[in-house]
Structure 1
Amino acid sequence: MTAEAGFSRLLSAADQALVEAAAAAVRTHYAYGRHTVGAALRGRSGRVFVAVNLDATVGRAAICAEAVALGAAVMAGETVEAVAAVRHPRPDEGGGPQVVPPCGLCRELLLDYAPDARVVLPGQGETPLRALLPSPYRR
Protein backbone atom coordinates (compact mmCIF):
# COMPACT_ATOMS: atom_id res chain seq x y z
CA MET A 1 0.00 0.00 0.00
CA THR A 2 1.36 3.42 -0.87
CA ALA A 3 -0.48 5.34 1.81
CA GLU A 4 -1.24 4.49 5.41
CA ALA A 5 -4.88 3.76 6.23
CA GLY A 6 -5.52 7.18 7.83
CA PHE A 7 -4.11 9.00 4.83
CA SER A 8 -6.14 6.86 2.42
CA ARG A 9 -9.32 8.04 4.14
CA LEU A 10 -8.44 11.61 3.15
CA LEU A 11 -8.52 10.66 -0.53
CA SER A 12 -11.43 10.10 -2.88
CA ALA A 13 -11.58 6.75 -4.65
CA ALA A 14 -10.36 8.49 -7.82
CA ASP A 15 -7.36 9.97 -5.99
CA GLN A 16 -6.55 6.63 -4.37
CA ALA A 17 -6.58 5.10 -7.84
CA LEU A 18 -4.24 7.87 -9.02
CA VAL A 19 -1.78 7.13 -6.22
CA GLU A 20 -1.94 3.41 -7.00
CA ALA A 21 -1.33 4.09 -10.72
CA ALA A 22 1.78 6.12 -9.88
CA ALA A 23 2.95 3.40 -7.47
CA ALA A 24 2.41 0.68 -10.07
CA ALA A 25 4.45 2.63 -12.61
CA VAL A 26 7.45 2.99 -10.31
CA ARG A 27 7.18 -0.57 -8.98
CA THR A 28 7.18 -1.91 -12.54
CA HIS A 29 10.03 0.26 -13.81
CA TYR A 30 12.05 0.86 -10.63
CA ALA A 31 15.80 0.91 -11.18
CA TYR A 32 17.94 2.39 -8.42
CA GLY A 33 19.55 5.58 -9.74
CA ARG A 34 17.40 5.58 -12.90
CA HIS A 35 13.65 5.45 -12.19
CA THR A 36 12.71 6.13 -8.57
CA VAL A 37 9.61 8.31 -8.83
CA GLY A 38 6.31 7.51 -10.50
CA ALA A 39 3.61 10.04 -11.32
CA ALA A 40 0.02 9.82 -12.44
CA LEU A 41 -2.07 12.68 -13.80
CA ARG A 42 -5.83 12.47 -14.28
CA GLY A 43 -7.41 14.46 -17.04
CA ARG A 44 -10.86 16.00 -17.18
CA SER A 45 -12.03 13.03 -19.27
CA GLY A 46 -10.96 10.63 -16.51
CA ARG A 47 -8.02 9.33 -18.54
CA VAL A 48 -4.87 8.72 -16.46
CA PHE A 49 -1.33 9.34 -17.70
CA VAL A 50 1.50 7.60 -15.87
CA ALA A 51 5.26 7.96 -16.08
CA VAL A 52 8.50 7.48 -14.21
CA ASN A 53 11.32 9.97 -13.84
CA LEU A 54 14.22 9.77 -16.26
CA ASP A 55 17.44 10.15 -14.33
CA ALA A 56 20.61 10.96 -16.24
CA THR A 57 24.36 10.87 -15.82
CA VAL A 58 24.34 14.61 -16.40
CA GLY A 59 21.95 15.75 -13.67
CA ARG A 60 20.64 18.68 -15.64
CA ALA A 61 19.33 16.30 -18.29
CA ALA A 62 17.14 14.42 -15.79
CA ILE A 63 13.37 14.77 -16.16
CA CYS A 64 10.82 14.38 -13.37
CA ALA A 65 8.00 11.85 -13.67
CA GLU A 66 5.39 14.60 -13.42
CA ALA A 67 6.90 16.34 -16.46
CA VAL A 68 6.94 13.14 -18.52
CA ALA A 69 3.29 12.41 -17.65
CA LEU A 70 2.32 16.03 -18.30
CA GLY A 71 3.87 15.85 -21.77
CA ALA A 72 1.76 12.80 -22.59
CA ALA A 73 -1.39 14.53 -21.32
CA VAL A 74 -0.66 17.68 -23.33
CA MET A 75 -0.04 15.62 -26.48
CA ALA A 76 -3.42 13.93 -25.94
CA GLY A 77 -5.14 17.33 -25.66
CA GLU A 78 -6.13 16.63 -22.08
CA THR A 79 -6.82 19.15 -19.32
CA VAL A 80 -5.13 17.90 -16.14
CA GLU A 81 -7.31 17.87 -13.02
CA ALA A 82 -5.24 15.94 -10.48
CA VAL A 83 -1.63 14.90 -9.89
CA ALA A 84 -0.03 12.29 -7.64
CA ALA A 85 3.63 11.28 -7.34
CA VAL A 86 5.26 8.51 -5.33
CA ARG A 87 8.87 7.68 -4.52
CA HIS A 88 10.10 4.10 -4.43
CA PRO A 89 12.21 3.38 -1.34
CA ARG A 90 15.93 2.81 -1.73
CA PRO A 91 17.04 -0.81 -1.29
CA ASP A 92 18.20 -0.10 2.28
CA GLU A 93 14.91 1.58 3.32
CA GLY A 94 12.36 -1.18 2.87
CA GLY A 95 8.63 -0.56 2.62
CA GLY A 96 6.69 0.44 -0.43
CA PRO A 97 6.31 3.56 -2.56
CA GLN A 98 5.24 6.67 -0.63
CA VAL A 99 3.44 9.79 -1.81
CA VAL A 100 5.74 12.79 -2.31
CA PRO A 101 4.98 16.40 -3.22
CA PRO A 102 6.11 17.69 -6.62
CA CYS A 103 9.44 19.51 -6.64
CA GLY A 104 9.56 23.27 -7.21
CA LEU A 105 10.33 22.94 -10.91
CA CYS A 106 7.36 20.61 -11.40
CA ARG A 107 5.12 22.97 -9.46
CA GLU A 108 6.05 25.76 -11.89
CA LEU A 109 5.60 23.52 -14.94
CA LEU A 110 2.28 22.12 -13.76
CA LEU A 111 1.04 25.63 -12.98
CA ASP A 112 1.83 26.67 -16.56
CA TYR A 113 -0.20 23.80 -18.04
CA ALA A 114 -2.70 22.86 -15.33
CA PRO A 115 -3.28 25.88 -13.08
CA ASP A 116 -6.54 24.50 -11.69
CA ALA A 117 -5.17 21.03 -10.91
CA ARG A 118 -5.21 19.50 -7.47
CA VAL A 119 -2.21 17.67 -6.00
CA VAL A 120 -2.18 14.69 -3.65
CA LEU A 121 0.15 15.49 -0.73
CA PRO A 122 1.55 13.06 1.82
CA GLY A 123 -0.53 12.94 4.98
CA GLN A 124 -2.77 15.81 3.84
CA GLY A 125 -4.91 14.47 1.03
CA GLU A 126 -5.57 16.74 -1.91
CA THR A 127 -4.78 20.46 -2.20
CA PRO A 128 -4.99 23.02 -5.04
CA LEU A 129 -1.75 23.30 -7.00
CA ARG A 130 -1.86 27.09 -6.60
CA ALA A 131 -1.58 26.65 -2.81
CA LEU A 132 1.83 24.99 -3.32
CA LEU A 133 3.18 27.89 -5.34
CA PRO A 134 1.61 31.12 -4.11
CA SER A 135 4.16 33.35 -5.89
CA PRO A 136 4.89 31.67 -9.25
CA TYR A 137 7.50 33.04 -11.62
CA ARG A 138 6.03 35.29 -14.33
CA ARG A 139 7.79 36.72 -17.39
Structure 2
Amino acid sequence: MHTFNLTPKDVELIDEAKKKITSLYEEDKHHVGAAIRMKTGEMISTVHIEAYIGRVTVCAEAIAIGSALSNGYKDFDTIVAVRHPYSDEEDRRLRVVSPCGICRELISDFGPECFVIIEIDGELVKVEIGELIPLKYTRS
Protein backbone atom coordinates (compact mmCIF):
# COMPACT_ATOMS: atom_id res chain seq x y z
CA MET A 1 0.00 0.00 0.00
CA HIS A 2 1.32 3.41 -0.99
CA THR A 3 0.97 5.88 1.88
CA PHE A 4 1.59 9.61 2.22
CA ASN A 5 2.76 11.58 5.24
CA LEU A 6 0.28 13.96 6.86
CA THR A 7 0.52 17.66 6.17
CA PRO A 8 -0.38 20.43 8.64
CA LYS A 9 -3.72 20.75 6.77
CA ASP A 10 -4.36 17.04 7.41
CA VAL A 11 -3.73 17.51 11.13
CA GLU A 12 -6.15 20.46 11.03
CA LEU A 13 -8.75 18.19 9.38
CA ILE A 14 -8.33 15.57 12.11
CA ASP A 15 -8.68 18.29 14.76
CA GLU A 16 -11.87 19.52 13.07
CA ALA A 17 -13.39 16.01 13.22
CA LYS A 18 -12.33 15.69 16.88
CA LYS A 19 -13.88 19.06 17.76
CA LYS A 20 -17.15 18.10 16.07
CA ILE A 21 -17.58 14.76 17.86
CA THR A 22 -16.39 16.18 21.18
CA SER A 23 -18.93 19.00 21.04
CA LEU A 24 -21.84 16.85 19.87
CA TYR A 25 -21.12 13.47 21.51
CA GLU A 26 -24.16 11.77 23.02
CA GLU A 27 -24.09 8.22 24.34
CA ASP A 28 -25.90 5.89 21.90
CA LYS A 29 -26.57 8.76 19.46
CA HIS A 30 -23.22 9.96 18.05
CA HIS A 31 -19.75 8.53 18.61
CA VAL A 32 -18.02 9.12 15.27
CA GLY A 33 -17.18 12.48 13.76
CA ALA A 34 -15.89 13.08 10.25
CA ALA A 35 -14.38 16.00 8.41
CA ILE A 36 -13.94 16.40 4.67
CA ARG A 37 -11.76 19.00 2.97
CA MET A 38 -12.40 20.21 -0.54
CA LYS A 39 -9.60 20.89 -3.00
CA THR A 40 -10.38 24.59 -2.49
CA GLY A 41 -9.64 24.25 1.25
CA GLU A 42 -13.16 24.47 2.71
CA MET A 43 -13.99 21.89 5.37
CA ILE A 44 -17.25 20.32 6.47
CA SER A 45 -17.49 18.33 9.69
CA THR A 46 -20.32 16.07 10.81
CA VAL A 47 -21.29 13.32 13.25
CA HIS A 48 -22.78 9.94 12.53
CA ILE A 49 -26.36 9.12 13.46
CA GLU A 50 -26.82 5.99 15.55
CA ALA A 51 -30.11 4.11 15.48
CA TYR A 52 -31.44 1.29 17.62
CA ILE A 53 -31.78 -0.79 14.45
CA GLY A 54 -28.27 -0.88 12.99
CA ARG A 55 -29.35 -0.78 9.34
CA VAL A 56 -30.76 2.71 9.88
CA THR A 57 -27.48 4.07 11.29
CA VAL A 58 -25.72 6.53 8.96
CA CYS A 59 -21.94 6.89 9.06
CA ALA A 60 -20.31 10.29 9.64
CA GLU A 61 -18.41 10.04 6.34
CA ALA A 62 -21.67 9.56 4.43
CA ILE A 63 -23.22 12.54 6.18
CA ALA A 64 -20.11 14.65 5.42
CA ILE A 65 -20.27 13.73 1.73
CA GLY A 66 -24.02 14.41 1.64
CA SER A 67 -23.60 17.74 3.38
CA ALA A 68 -20.80 18.76 1.02
CA LEU A 69 -22.81 17.80 -2.06
CA SER A 70 -25.89 19.56 -0.68
CA ASN A 71 -23.83 22.73 -0.30
CA GLY A 72 -22.47 22.62 -3.85
CA TYR A 73 -19.08 21.05 -3.16
CA LYS A 74 -17.87 18.10 -5.16
CA ASP A 75 -14.10 18.32 -5.52
CA PHE A 76 -13.07 16.32 -2.45
CA ASP A 77 -9.44 16.29 -1.33
CA THR A 78 -9.25 14.41 1.99
CA ILE A 79 -11.63 12.81 4.48
CA VAL A 80 -11.13 11.48 8.01
CA ALA A 81 -13.30 9.86 10.68
CA VAL A 82 -12.65 9.95 14.42
CA ARG A 83 -14.21 7.68 17.04
CA HIS A 84 -15.16 8.97 20.49
CA PRO A 85 -15.01 6.33 23.25
CA TYR A 86 -18.20 5.26 24.98
CA SER A 87 -18.59 6.45 28.58
CA ASP A 88 -17.66 3.04 30.03
CA GLU A 89 -14.39 2.66 28.08
CA GLU A 90 -11.17 3.14 30.04
CA ASP A 91 -9.19 4.42 27.05
CA ARG A 92 -10.51 7.97 26.60
CA ARG A 93 -8.51 8.81 23.46
CA LEU A 94 -10.27 9.91 20.30
CA ARG A 95 -8.94 7.66 17.54
CA VAL A 96 -8.88 7.93 13.77
CA VAL A 97 -10.87 5.04 12.29
CA SER A 98 -10.89 3.54 8.83
CA PRO A 99 -14.09 3.90 6.77
CA CYS A 100 -16.39 0.90 6.50
CA GLY A 101 -16.92 -0.81 3.15
CA ILE A 102 -20.06 1.16 2.31
CA CYS A 103 -18.29 4.45 3.02
CA ARG A 104 -15.32 3.36 0.93
CA GLU A 105 -17.72 2.82 -1.98
CA LEU A 106 -19.36 6.20 -1.39
CA ILE A 107 -16.04 8.06 -1.15
CA SER A 108 -14.83 6.33 -4.31
CA ASP A 109 -18.05 7.08 -6.20
CA PHE A 110 -18.13 10.79 -5.34
CA GLY A 111 -14.40 11.45 -4.85
CA PRO A 112 -12.39 8.98 -6.91
CA GLU A 113 -9.22 11.01 -6.28
CA CYS A 114 -9.96 11.60 -2.58
CA PHE A 115 -7.41 10.80 0.10
CA VAL A 116 -8.41 9.07 3.35
CA ILE A 117 -6.56 9.45 6.64
CA ILE A 118 -6.24 6.13 8.47
CA GLU A 119 -4.07 4.51 11.12
CA ILE A 120 -1.68 1.75 10.04
CA ASP A 121 0.50 0.06 12.67
CA GLY A 122 -0.06 2.91 15.12
CA GLU A 123 0.87 5.63 12.62
CA LEU A 124 -1.53 8.09 10.97
CA VAL A 125 -1.08 8.17 7.20
CA LYS A 126 -2.96 9.29 4.13
CA VAL A 127 -3.92 6.87 1.36
CA GLU A 128 -5.77 7.22 -1.91
CA ILE A 129 -9.30 5.82 -1.76
CA GLY A 130 -8.37 3.42 -4.58
CA GLU A 131 -5.95 1.71 -2.17
CA LEU A 132 -8.86 0.95 0.17
CA ILE A 133 -11.15 -0.38 -2.55
CA PRO A 134 -8.95 -2.14 -5.10
CA LEU A 135 -10.38 -3.65 -8.27
CA LYS A 136 -13.52 -1.56 -7.95
CA TYR A 137 -16.27 -2.46 -10.37
CA THR A 138 -16.86 -0.11 -13.25
CA ARG A 139 -19.84 0.51 -15.45
CA SER A 140 -19.59 -1.08 -18.87
TM-score for both structures, normalised by structure 1 = 0.88
Q: What is the aligned length?
A: 130
Stretches of 4+ aligned residues off by more than 3 angstroms:
none
Where does residue 11 of structure 2 map in the other structure?
16
SS in 2 for 1:69: helix
| TM-superposed deviation, 1:58 | 1.8
Q: Does 1:87 align with 2:74?
A: no
Q: How well do the aligned residues superpose, as a CA RMSD in angstroms?
A: 1.3
Q: What letter matches 2:76 in structure 1? A: V
Correspondence for 2:97 among 100, 105, 109: 100
Alignment of 1:99-138 (within 5 A): 99-122=96-119, 123-138=123-138
Q: Which runs of 5+ in 2 are unaligned?
A: none
| TM-superposed deviation, 1:117 | 0.2
Deviation readout 1:10-65 (Å, 9 max, x if unpaired): 42000000000001111011112110000000001111010000011221111000
Equivalent residues of 1:108, 1:137 under 8 A apart: no
SS in 1 for 2:105: helix
Where does residue 69 of structure 1 map in the other structure?
64
Q: Which runs of 5+ in 1 are unaligned?
A: 1-9
Q: What letter matches 1:84 in structure 2? A: V
TM-score for both structures, normalised by structure 2 = 0.87
% identity of equivalent residues = 35
